[in-house]
Amino acid sequence: MHTTTVSIRVRYGETDQMGIVYHGNYPAYLEVARIEFFREIGMPYKDIEAQGIMLPVIDLNIKYLRPAKYDELLVIHVKLNEIPSGPRLVFDYEIYGENNKLLTTASTTLVFVDSQNRRPIRCPKFIIDRFENGPK
């Protein structure tokens, strides 16, 4: 399956008084990586939304192994392990710090939702095609 890698440098405002990344900032890091994943397969998030589809996160799991620190360059790998056959889409993440140390693992589950009626839908064929074949 497809894997995307994104680098983010920790900003001062993302840390606590000890210079450690506040735990509540990690979901935003995961979102940045996920948005880049869709862009890399040729399906920017805004194009998905333009098709009347929303992708809310319904489950988030994070395991903090080591702290990330102010000014550290984080490397985030996001991977889609399985092409969805139904409405759910699961991403797995690994966040590495400097010296290639694994800092955090995470997963998110999103659901394809029709923006008009706000009901879950199966993964649309045009998105499955992008997952299988990449950008056009």
Active site residues: 16
CA dihedral sign of residues 85, 125, 136, 91: negative
Whose structure tokens read 């990344």?
21
Phi-psi group of 52: left, alpha or beta (phi > 0 → left; psi -120 to 50 → alpha; rest → beta): left
Nearest to 77, CA basis, from 94, 96, 55 = 94
Nearest to 116, CA basis, from 55, 58, 49, 52 = 52
Nearest to 69, CA basis, from 128, 9, 134, 127 = 9
